[in-house]
Amino acid sequence: MKIETIRSEGLAHLSYLVSSEGESMVLDPRRDCDIYVEHARRESVNILQIFETHRNEDYVVGSLELQNRIPSARIGHSAATSFKYGDDKLEDEDTFKIGKMLVTCVHTPGHTNDSMCYVVSDASIGNDPLVVFTGDTLFVNEVGRTDLVDIKKHEEMSRKLFHSLQEKILPLGDGVIIHPGHGAGSVCGGAIGSRDFSTIGYECKNNIWLDQSEDDFVQAKLKQHLTLAPYFKRCEKLNTDGPPLLSDIDPLKVIDVSILEDLMQDEENIVVDTRLAGQFVDGHIPRSISLDFKHMGLFAGWVLFPSNSFILLLTSPTDIDEAAGMLYRVGLDTVIGHLNGGFESWKAAGKSIDSLPIFKLEDIKSQLSYGTLEVIDVRQPHEAENDYIENSIYSPLTTIGEDMTKFPPEKPLVAICPAGFRSTTGASIMKRGGLANAGVSDNGLMEWKKRGYPIKTGSNQ
């Protein structure tokens, strides 16, 4: 029995390939599924099952994609949702034999009604549970969100989650290893620990959610305000109906400067600049959106829409497949390709270059008091719950595209965030949206606070 964890950065999505004696299962595969196919080929392993832990919201699941490559693999997910694809509609206590593993399905409603955990026993030894794949039900140091199915059912779902955890998961026993659906950095939990594994025994001692009464648990859940990206609904629908196959989309093109200029004539085409935020600020192709490579996996779903098409600007051409994969994972299939030679070739061709003004924190502080400048606070909701710069306008990346119609176009608009990545993305969106005065701060909120600049307590929402 061997467990391979596949981590998709940005989304902090964890999928698993679990093998025993030449047979294997994949849990929650991602859409760019070559990694599982290559494994199956290389090891001559037969993938018998693809299990989904629930109808995911923050990424498009790759089950159909993987089945299209490995037709013997059956797709299983909970019978509680009417999925329009898949082979096995799973009920609580359904079991599967894969190599020397016995896999038992455990229905754990809460995060969704169709949440399913998969408990694995090592049948070569006995029946005791050894590992549980918990999806978005239980994370390291956190538990699943309960606000996504329907905000009106927030309490009901929280209560369900409490029961699922207490009655289905914890009783598996302290010695059971936990492999969750997300790691640190995911928006699917508030404070997921920076580890991709744990044990039930360890979580019982350390995860504060597991040591509360039902009512305390529910009350605490109701107070959690987490990022709600519009693309979640899109993913939910795709994941219920079955997403389109990537093999049906066009291959990635290598674009030269002249073709890029042609493409840029069409408003629907967007240049996505994946270089470091600082490089973008210094100089960029006009109207491009800044999404640095390291963070684009997370932010792409928040700020880009499938009605557009995308041309990528890369630091290294070998990043193309990973960069495109990050868009595919959130249902942005219309990736045209990348600019050959990157920003250097644009510059070498003598094309016009834009930049963003940089505002110093000290100037922001003074100008803000005169009202001659606006600060746009682009943090996530849970970051903006406790304190904020007075008079700053709250507009997270998930809504800035709509919000900005209300920003005063005549004033300097300075995006601000804790460290500087999201503010650059935010400023690039404002600029593309017609706000010529958009800019960034030379430093983030962490520095603002460190300097003792005025901060207001309370929520900025």
Among 9, 68, 240, 279, binds a copy of itself (CB under 8 A): 68
Smallest distance from the beta carbon of 43 to a copy of itself, in angstroms?
A: 9
Nearer to a copy of itself, 173 or 454 (CB): 173
65: how many CB neighbours lie within 10 A of its CB?
A: 25
Nearer to a copy of itself, 253 or 382 (CB): 253
d(CA 281, CA 406): 24
Among 91, 155, 241, 256, binds a copy of itself (CB under 8 A): 256
Nearer to a copy of itself, 344 or 410 (CB): 344
- Tell me the window of 86-94, 194-202, 210-218, 380-388 that interacts with a copy of itself (CB under 8 A): 194-202
The CB-side HSE value for 169 (13 A sphere, CA atoms) comes to 34
Smallest distance from the beta carbon of 135 to a copy of itself, in angstroms?
A: 20
Position 167 contacts a copy of itself (CB under 8 A): no
Which of these, 432, 388, 387, 437, lies nearest to 414 by C-alpha position?
437
- Tell me the window of 79-87, 160-168, 193-201, 413-421 that interacts with a copy of itself (CB under 8 A): 193-201
Among 190, 201, 242, 433, binds a copy of itself (CB under 8 A): 201
d(CA 59, CA 458): 32
- Tell me the window of 175-183, 269-277, 388-396, 449-457 that interacts with a copy of itself (CB under 8 A): 175-183
Which of these, 318, 317, 320, 339, lies nearest to 328 by C-alpha position?
320
Nearer to a copy of itself, 159 or 295 (CB): 295
Structural contact between residues 313 and 339, judged by C-beta atoms closer than 8 angstroms: yes
Among 76, 109, 144, 193, binds a copy of itself (CB under 8 A): 193
d(CA 272, CA 119): 41
Smallest distance from the beta carbon of 229 to a copy of itself, in angstroms?
A: 27
d(CA 326, CA 335): 10
294-333 binders of a copy of itself (CB under 8 A): 317-318, 320
Interaction mask 27-56, a copy of itself, x per CB under 8 A: ----------x--xxx-xxxx---------
Position 278 contacts a copy of itself (CB under 8 A): no
Position 205 contacts a copy of itself (CB under 8 A): yes
**In this structure, what token pair is assigned to residue 282?**
């210094």
Pinpoint the alpha helices (H) of 169-256.
200-206, 214-223, 231-241
d(CA 165, CA 206): 15
* Residue type (1 letter), 97: K
Position 194 contacts a copy of itself (CB under 8 A): yes
Among 35, 64, 130, 281, binds a copy of itself (CB under 8 A): 130
Position 259 contacts a copy of itself (CB under 8 A): yes
Output DSSP code: residue 321. H
Nearer to a copy of itself, 228 or 285 (CB): 285
d(CA 376, CA 392): 6
Interaction mask 328-347, a copy of itself, x per CB under 8 A: ------------xxx-xx--
Q: Pairing relation of β-strands 13-20 and 2-8?
A: antiparallel
Annotate 256-315 with DSSP letters as a single string: -HHHHHHHHTSTTEEEEE-S-HHHHHH-B-TTPEE--HHHHHHHHHHH--TTSEEEEE-S
Could you identify the residue written with the tokens 């070569």?
Answer: 124
For 3, residues 6+ apart whose C-beta sits below 8 A from its C-beta are 16, 17, 18, 131, 179
Nearer to a copy of itself, 125 or 222 (CB): 125
Position 265 contacts a copy of itself (CB under 8 A): no
Nearer to a copy of itself, 36 or 394 (CB): 36
**In this structure, what token pair is assigned to residue 284?**
């960029």
Contact set with a copy of itself (CB under 8 A): 1-3, 20, 37, 40-42, 44-47, 68-72, 100, 122, 124-126, 128, 130, 141, 173-177, 193-206, 247, 250-256, 258-259, 317-318, 320, 340-342, 344-345
